[in-house]
Structure 1
Amino acid sequence: MKYKSIIFNLLIVLTLTISSKKTFAQFFEDSQAPLSQKWFKIETPNFKLIFPEEMKGKAPTLANQVHNSLRTTSRNYKITPRQIPFIIHNTNLQTNGFVQLSPRKSELYSTAGAEPDNQTWLPNLILHESRHVNQFDKLTGKLRAPFFEQLALAYYGLTVPSWFFEGDATLTETIYSRGGRGRLPSFEMPIKANFQSKQNYSFDKYLLGSFKDIVPSYYTIGYLMTSTLKSELPPNYEADLFSELNKRPLYPYNINHVLKKKIGGNSRYLFNKTITKLDSIWEQKTANYLAQNYTEISGQNNRYYNSNLLPKSNGNLIYFIKQNPEKTNAIYTYDNDKKSESQLVKTGIQLTPHFDINKEYIVWDELRKDPRYNKRTYSVINLMNRKTGKIKTLTKQSRYYSPVFSPVDESIACIEVDLSNTSYLTLISLKNGSVIKRIKTADSEQLQHPAFNPTGDKVIAIRLSEIGTALCEIDLKNDKITNITPWGDQQYERPQYLPGMNILVKANFNGIDNIYKIDRQSEAKHLLTKAPFGAFNPFYNKETKQLLFNNYQYNGYKISQTSIDTTFDIKPETDYFSHYYADAVKKDSIFNIAATAPDSNQHYIIEPYKGLGRTFNFHSLSLSSSNFESFDNFKPGIFWLSNNILNTTQIALGYEYDTDIRKSIYSAELTYNKYFPKFSLRYENRGQIAAASVPNKPDSSVRFDWREHYVSSQISIPLSFYRLDYNYSTGFNFATAYLKRYSLSRNDLKNFNYETAFPLTYQLYFNRNARMANMDQYPRWGQNFSITYRHTPFENKAKGEILSARTVFYLPGFVNNHGFQIRLSAQAGTGIYEYINDIPLVSGFSYYKYEKIKNTLLVNYRFPIAYPDFNIGSLTYIKRIKGGVFADYQNIHKHKEAAPKSFGGYLSFDFNAFRYPLPDFEFVVKGTYINDNTATQRVVPTVSLNYTY
């Protein structure tokens, strides 16, 4: 995420300065896969499939799916897409994929997670991303590499709103497959719950989000809105819509102009029309659905939305995972006798919320990452002793999730997915995490949500394939996998054994997610819940014969219970789901791409992926060499950028003109990130100017100029990882440079330094910070340390050295989501570094008499004020208002009094502009009081505009 800051200093006359800072994520995804991976390719006229060695066996099938997906999703846009690289990553367990420009490519994370679905992951992902390829090419196809891909990205982002971009792709995955999110009642459930609970949020709120309320993202409203367009406009309307957009490329809110021509209104009009239509369908479909009112258990008062997930009872305690915007995820207990809840343990990051309990332990999975290569993640198994609270990580660098305890021995069953994307039921030892047994599924199948039978010799699970889903039973004695239910399109969740021949499971047989009991002998289905919007995560307590489950409400998943013997009639013909995609399907025939057999006449050649084409990929001319990461000292210029598609090599060739001194700068920069250390090398040829005093004439000076060669290099080892509720980062940086000056305009200067040879800089840092909840201002706890040493060992004249240490500490505030930041820094320099400041300075530093700085102490306290979710027309949408106070100290070793050098407060507003979800802006008004008698101005007001993307 880039973080920019534009500072306005309000002096007697308004002046403007520009500065910038970076934060950690990237607008252009630039992480790397592990060095050990060997890459191969299949190349056709339409695409280039790049994949790791472990995926060679499945590569022809994937190539066939890419071919069919590109061909099918291009029909509506009436184009043949240009060749594009599809990169398959098998080392990242997070379910994700994207298409990008600058450089143009698609990256697909192949490993299916534990999130319930109605068909296998990767084919649907390919279908979704293929639609994005055709969207890009239809609108920006003429803006191509090697010069214009960044321009194409900017044009696309300004022209096509996010709700259409992702909504059209989500509708595509729905109508061209047997699966897709649009076919899941749970996908539209949050918006249905909001409107039927009289939470009539605005279009802007659904588009831009909220800190305090559950609002489905623009994927959901976009899918619904594009479904309306698809049902009302002529077939292949998409091609005509994009052609209309291209006719007025610089027209503000171009999409609204085109929509008014086609449907008589703008995006907001389309949203309201869609909701009105949906509301009518919901009322009609559920008119005879008599939902039950369930009492909420653990109904603690929460100011904002709150979910208590996966309830499980043990004795008089109910265990659950709490999710809300004020705190990070943790496992809690609720005491039925005391009617109170307490936090047990933080879970860390999970692919999907999950845990299990037995008499002695709690087990859960946690996502971990490779410290250096961010495209490699793991899912490890954590075990906590309920009596002692001691936590043990059972497995290291594993790919396990959804662990459950065996009822009869010290083993744990979990799902494993290997690097070839093959799914296993794996049994591991509770004592040391060693593998006891692995049972393999068919190559194209996945397993999810395992659960033991009472005797521990069989496991029930969800089975997914290209033709749908089924419940299956795995016999641990003979490793045989047998379907319990036929293949279908159900979104099953959390199956469990019940006494006798019954199974407990969440399903959506009648179009609303509810809990069912299935008789294995008669195959009869018994409806156990009738939740208003959906019931999930069933748990049967055999001692009380009560069924615990999550009852979804507009403000989260609540814990409820009912008797296992309470059942409701099911009418097979009854369907309460809207099927809002149905009219779109009528205009565009269903084509189940995932299940399409490979073309027997198509022979794909697999070759190693190597050569210069893997290293160099010039794609864009840009005004910035760093993807607009920084506007510090911005100079007009132009850069030619190259980024290879594996993110290991970046090149920038550029020209800039310094308007302040009227000199040209030529530059070339290479960044190489393949190996464990990262390397960078930069060359500049630049003009400089200076002035020198005239001997015996102290009031006179002469101006002179020169040019110089400047070469700098850096080696860095950046490491980052997370453990439970803490994020860690550590690393080492080493940098040096060489400067050679020439073409001096005067030959009568004395002591002019023509060369500076290899000043050296070393930096070592370590950071440990608690994970932040959505509403946090700072981490609740954090310790950050950085030491930097600079010196000139190879210089005879320009000698010097400086040692600086910077620390940052975070402490919790007086109320939830408040926080303290304390920055203590010190430095000591000699020679040429004596007056260099290498540490953060106090606010208002330039407004009082200078003194040599040895140390600073900067204290901040920040707090949220309100979450208005308020829009001012289409200009801005304000999500959050924050406040803060600060006190800055300088040279605390010298000034014994407690008075700060400067102090003040600030008020800030988090908002989005012009209905764009990105970037996120922050507008800050800050007032600083200078507590120094030499101050040229006591009160310094400033205004800043920051943004992240």
Structure 2
Amino acid sequence: MNHKFSTFLLLGFLLLISNQYLAQPLGNNPNGQNWQSLQTDFGQLIFPLSFQKQAIETAQLLNSLENNNPIGLRGKKRQLRLILQNQTLNANGYVALAPFRSEFYGTPPQSLNDLSTVNWLDLLSIHEFRHIEQYRAARKGVTNIGYYLTGEYGWSFMQRLSIPNWFFEGDAVLVETALTTSGRGRLPAFTAEQRSIAFSSKNYSYHQIRNGSFKNLIPDHYRWGYLMMAKLTEEKGYEVIQPLVEDAAAYKSIFYPFSRALKKQSGYTTKSLYQKSWNAVKEDWKADILELQVTKSRNLTDSTLKTPTFYHFPQYESDSSILVLSNSYKKTDEILLLKADKKEVVCRPGASNDPFFHYNYGHLVWTEFRNNPRRTNAEYEDIFVYDIKNKKKIRLSQRRRYFSPVLNSNASKVYAIKVDLKQECTLQSIDIKKQTTKDIFAFPAGEYISRLNISENDSILVYIKRKNNQAALFSIDLENLNEKQLSPWSAHAIGAPRIANGYVYYSASYNQRDNIYRVSLNGTLQVEQLTEAKIGFYQPAVNPSNKELLFSETIFNGHSISKLEEANWVKSKIQINEPIEQEWNYSHLNKTPHFAEQATTDSLNQNESKNYNNLFRGFRLHSWPITASPAAQEMNLVFNNYLNDWSASVGGGYNYNEKGSFYQARLSYGKFLPILSASISSNYRNLSSVWNDLYLESTTFRSNAISLGAAIPLNWTLGNYRLSLNPQLRLQYLQLSGNEAQPNENYQFAHAGLSFSYLRRRARQNLAPRFGLSASINYSRNAIKLSEERFQAESRLYLPGLFANHSLQLSSGFRRELQENFYQHSDFFNYARGFEAPYSDEYHRLSVDYKLPLLYPDWGFWGINYFKRIRTNFFFDYGKQLLYAFDYNYEFQSTGVELFIDNVLMNTLPISLGFRTSYLINEDPSSPDEEITYGIIISGGF
């Protein structure tokens, strides 16, 4: 092994794997779910008993993917544990290592433009199984060495470092597109943001699309990866992917392993593949609209957006005023009133998995996200009504799963879709005054309902129905509960219907782009096209009096609101061409679009499932990482179970600060309300102490400890705020030995702590919450020598600055621990900046910080580093030190500036590098000649 290669591994493992070794919260799954397991060809499927039907169907598709996938990847078969969740509401899934597992969040999305009309669990299965194949194929060469050296942490890190995220996600989107009739690659909305860039004069470099931006709307790695992989496989075939993954993961080239593997297999580098694929689609998209009579609408919001801004769901408040949901990189969700070129903030809805609102009769309705504070995988969407005139917000439901609420004409009743734990939908009404609910219509299993709208006379509701990988518009008569189909079944994405003048207006992807269409409420199934968009029109609304058409339009750097008079409507009756027939698809993706529908079934049935509620089920060793910091180096054996109830580690290391070895073992269990933990440790200590005769002495000894602890991590989402509360209690038996200054002693400590935060959610550019408070209190006491105690408290208040992305922060701290105590607790207190941490029995601190962004460079070099943001902080610190034995106190005052550069290292790891200059208003007793001090600050994430 050559010197360069050895250095590469050393840096990689000792410095960067440590970022992966992070504790995961335990016990997030609700109790009482009656977990079952099913053994399959791909591994073990774990699911709640109430989700058994969906589990069997998912297992059948995954078995087909394992055995019959026409474009699958090869790799050593490694059994996977797949967990199906049915109480989460965020439509998502993932594959992860440490331990090797996958998790599907089973509730489908409301918007078809996000994730297509394909059955949600089928789409998840195809997409996530591709990640499983990628991970298996990547266990080659150096990545495999990483596994043998550190376990699955090493496997994860080495493949993450060698293979770009755009490949992982782009390849998975490519496969879901190839194997289904309407995977994301077939949706115009999926590439709408890229189209907006193509039609502008803006060009982004490979570094920019790889790492993103705080300044500009740069589509994510799913979208860029899909375009690049579609172009690559069009030219070289699907078979190019296998050797590409293997060569990159094996690090056949130590530097730029993926780009050089790509060059070997295809002739492209990553940059040249990006340019080739981007230039190709730009030309196709531009040619696509050359002969179109593009609709000339009038923009009602900013037509040129300096800051990425998004306007959605326009609705008429009156003939001359419009309500719209808005957010931007600077601001979180707001409902605005647009009137005569003025914008007025009406209210600020809370966080939601499905940002949507409806207006009627001076009232607004929407849903907000809530969760079980301890079992955070139990999620809810509750209904809120807002009275605009009285500025009063009412909560209509508690811990329910509601979507797409709408108000009737006098705002006395709300209609909404309730989704149960079997993912079955029921139409309900809620009386606002009485706050009583009534079931109106229960839809059969297999039919998923989204996006309600109500007629002006409250007699009809319309909605989107999904079934068998297709979607159509339906209506229901609220008097006789008769359903009527309004649009043909199609694999196209359709969205946001709205009733007006005997028609239902909606967006759909019927003709290469998303346009506005309408169908009659009479049920003729005849579709009429009303617009010809350059990129995409969405979420229509119609003014009944003058028939003006409102919609959200994709433009460069966001979405705007546009208006179109009836005289300019296209009004063309159309026949629907299915997504696989549209011209913008790469033809090689159309060879196997019915794989998911035709997947072979086997003999799997409910009788083959087994109970999965054993205490230690799935508990296994998965990693043995080396973790390093400037203070210590250690190695641990790490254990977890798949449902994340258990966590354990055994290991040891060396502390450079105290020049001694340490060993420890930890075990935590999170099935109960508190997370229970136990640990044993042995540490060599080397520290300085102040004794009663007033001199400093270096003390060395061995510290052996046994601890029992309990913690209750609680997290609430409350509108626009996140509340966290974490009380902790730990009992510790401590034995000190080997000290020459005094005899061996045993200690018994009780440690109590409480951390609290109440923070407003942030927009993308916000450096900190606009409002918020965080605090922590820690108290430790020797149960035998009651005078030996440590008390520490710190707090921080977040306030808005002069501009949206600025932050004013006031913080304080207090610490008390007598230096005469033989045992000194670890010190993580924040002292006045610029000074050495003083010896003190008591210390007080007050600080003021003002943080603001300076630049967004969006520039990188050689794939080594990408400069994403430069920010600064001006600070003032006041501290006061007290030493009781000397009857001594001293004040510390400093002011200065910190400059931070937010970087993405090696296109993978977010790291902030900071430089601090402190002017010492008072003299530093430990360095009296220094008036200005300097420091370097390094932190992960930003």
TM-score, length basis structure 2: 0.90
Q: Any gaps of 5 or more consecutive residues in structure 1?
A: 1-17
Following superposition, the deviation at residue 39 of structure 1 comes to 0.7
Q: Deviations over 1:482-521 (max 9, x none)?
A: 4222221121111122323x22111121111111122355
* Counterpart selection for 2:302 from 299, 304, 324: 299
- Could you tell me which residue of structure 1 aligns to residue 632 of structure 2? 634
CA–CA separation in structure 2 for the residues paired with 1:867 and 1:30: 37
Structure 1 window deviating more from structure 2 (829-838 vs 547-556): it is 829-838
Q: Deviations over 1:519-545 (max 9, x none)?
A: 355543322222221111101121232
User: Are positions 1:685 and 2:682 aligned together?
Assistant: yes
CA–CA separation in structure 2 for the residues paired with 1:876 and 1:24: 19
Asked if 2 retains the 8 angstrom alpha-carbon contact of 1:467 and 1:487, the reply is: no
CA–CA separation in structure 2 for the residues paired with 1:602 and 1:733: 45
Following superposition, the deviation at residue 171 of structure 1 comes to 0.7
Asked if 2 retains the 8 angstrom alpha-carbon contact of 1:903 and 1:930, the reply is: yes
The one-letter amino acid of 1:650's match is S
Following superposition, the deviation at residue 260 of structure 1 comes to 1.3
CA–CA separation in structure 2 for the residues paired with 1:833 and 1:858: 29
- Could you tell me which residue of structure 2 aligns to residue 769 of structure 1? 759
Asked if 1 retains the 8 angstrom alpha-carbon contact of 2:779 and 2:792, the reply is: yes
* Counterpart selection for 1:870 from 841, 852, 859: 859
Following superposition, the deviation at residue 405 of structure 1 comes to 1.0
Structure 1 window deviating more from structure 2 (936-945 vs 834-843): it is 834-843
CA–CA separation in structure 2 for the residues paired with 1:314 and 1:24: 50
Structure 1 window deviating more from structure 2 (851-860 vs 168-177): it is 851-860
Following superposition, the deviation at residue 594 of structure 1 comes to 4.6
- Could you tell me which residue of structure 2 aligns to residue 37 of structure 1? 33
Following superposition, the deviation at residue 786 of structure 1 comes to 3.1
Q: Any gaps of 5 or more consecutive residues in structure 2?
A: 1-13, 884-889
Equivalent positions of 1:21-32 (< 5 A) are: 32=28
- Could you tell me which residue of structure 2 aligns to residue 880 of structure 1? 869
- Could you tell me which residue of structure 2 aligns to residue 46 of structure 1? 42
User: Are positions 1:508 and 2:497 aligned together?
Assistant: no
- Could you tell me which residue of structure 2 aligns to residue 820 of structure 1? 808
The one-letter amino acid of 1:167's match is G
Equivalent positions of 1:365-764 (< 5 A) are: 365-407=367-409, 410-500=412-502, 502-519=503-520, 520=522, 522-564=524-566, 566-568=568-570, 569=572, 572=575, 580-585=584-589, 589-594=592-597, 596=599, 598-599=601-602, 605-611=608-614, 614=617, 616-624=619-627, 631=629, 633-635=631-633, 637-658=634-655, 663-688=660-685, 707-741=702-736, 744=738, 749=740, 751-757=742-748, 759-764=749-754
Q: Deviations over 1:684-725 (max 9, x none)?
A: 1344568999999x99x9x99664431123211121112222
Q: What do you get for the CA RMSD once the two structures are aligned?
A: 3.4
Following superposition, the deviation at residue 34 of structure 1 comes to 1.3
Q: Deviations over 1:435-469 (max 9, x none)?
A: 21142222222111011233323311111123311
CA–CA separation in structure 1 for the residues paired with 2:716 and 2:594: 42
Following superposition, the deviation at residue 209 of structure 1 comes to 0.8
SS of the counterpart of 1:598? Answer: coil
CA–CA separation in structure 2 for the residues paired with 1:93 and 1:182: 24
Residues 302 and 198 (structure 1), Cα distance of their counterparts in 2 relative to 1, 3 Å cut = closer
- Could you tell me which residue of structure 2 aligns to residue 320 of structure 1? 324
SS of the counterpart of 1:140? Answer: coil
Asked if 2 retains the 8 angstrom alpha-carbon contact of 1:682 and 1:713, the reply is: yes
- Could you tell me which residue of structure 1 aligns to residue 793 of structure 2? 805
CA–CA separation in structure 1 for the residues paired with 2:642 and 2:817: 43
The one-letter amino acid of 2:292's match is Y
Following superposition, the deviation at residue 838 of structure 1 comes to 7.1
- Could you tell me which residue of structure 1 aligns to residue 334 of structure 2? 330
Asked if 1 retains the 8 angstrom alpha-carbon contact of 2:150 and 2:623, the reply is: yes
Following superposition, the deviation at residue 238 of structure 1 comes to 1.8
- Could you tell me which residue of structure 2 aligns to residue 269 of structure 1? 272
- Could you tell me which residue of structure 2 aligns to residue 56 of structure 1? 52
Q: Deviations over 1:532-573 (max 9, x none)?
A: 211111011212321111121012111111124543246659
SS of the counterpart of 2:52? Answer: helix
CA–CA separation in structure 2 for the residues paired with 1:23 and 1:232: 38
User: Are positions 1:912 and 2:920 aligned together?
Assistant: no
Structure 1 window deviating more from structure 2 (652-661 vs 451-460): it is 652-661
Following superposition, the deviation at residue 218 of structure 1 comes to 0.7
User: Are positions 1:856 and 2:852 aligned together?
Assistant: no
CA–CA separation in structure 1 for the residues paired with 2:662 and 2:391: 61
CA–CA separation in structure 1 for the residues paired with 2:828 and 2:937: 23
The one-letter amino acid of 1:821's match is Q
* Counterpart selection for 1:223 from 221, 226, 229: 226
Residues 30 and 612 (structure 1), Cα distance of their counterparts in 2 relative to 1, 3 Å cut = closer
Structure 1 window deviating more from structure 2 (31-40 vs 720-729): it is 31-40
Structure 1 window deviating more from structure 2 (317-326 vs 286-295): it is 286-295
CA–CA separation in structure 2 for the residues paired with 1:704 and 1:942: 29
- Could you tell me which residue of structure 2 aligns to residue 286 of structure 1? 289
CA–CA separation in structure 2 for the residues paired with 1:911 and 1:128: 30
Following superposition, the deviation at residue 433 of structure 1 comes to 3.8
Residues 852 and 899 (structure 1), Cα distance of their counterparts in 2 relative to 1, 3 Å cut = closer
Asked if 2 retains the 8 angstrom alpha-carbon contact of 1:878 and 1:909, the reply is: yes
Following superposition, the deviation at residue 767 of structure 1 comes to 2.2
The one-letter amino acid of 2:758's match is R
SS of the counterpart of 1:170? Answer: helix
Structure 1 window deviating more from structure 2 (222-231 vs 254-263): it is 254-263
The one-letter amino acid of 1:826's match is F
Aligned length: 906
Asked if 1 retains the 8 angstrom alpha-carbon contact of 2:853 and 2:871, the reply is: yes
Residues 575 and 104 (structure 1), Cα distance of their counterparts in 2 relative to 1, 3 Å cut = closer
Residues 95 and 833 (structure 1), Cα distance of their counterparts in 2 relative to 1, 3 Å cut = farther
Residues 290 and 31 (structure 1), Cα distance of their counterparts in 2 relative to 1, 3 Å cut = farther
The one-letter amino acid of 2:902's match is D
Following superposition, the deviation at residue 768 of structure 1 comes to 1.7
Structure 1 window deviating more from structure 2 (831-840 vs 196-205): it is 831-840
Following superposition, the deviation at residue 313 of structure 1 comes to 1.1
- Could you tell me which residue of structure 1 aligns to residue 886 of structure 2? none
Asked if 2 retains the 8 angstrom alpha-carbon contact of 1:665 and 1:684, the reply is: yes
The one-letter amino acid of 1:277's match is A
- Could you tell me which residue of structure 2 aligns to residue 788 of structure 1? 778
Residues 297 and 813 (structure 1), Cα distance of their counterparts in 2 relative to 1, 3 Å cut = same
The one-letter amino acid of 2:936's match is V
Asked if 2 retains the 8 angstrom alpha-carbon contact of 1:227 and 1:581, the reply is: no
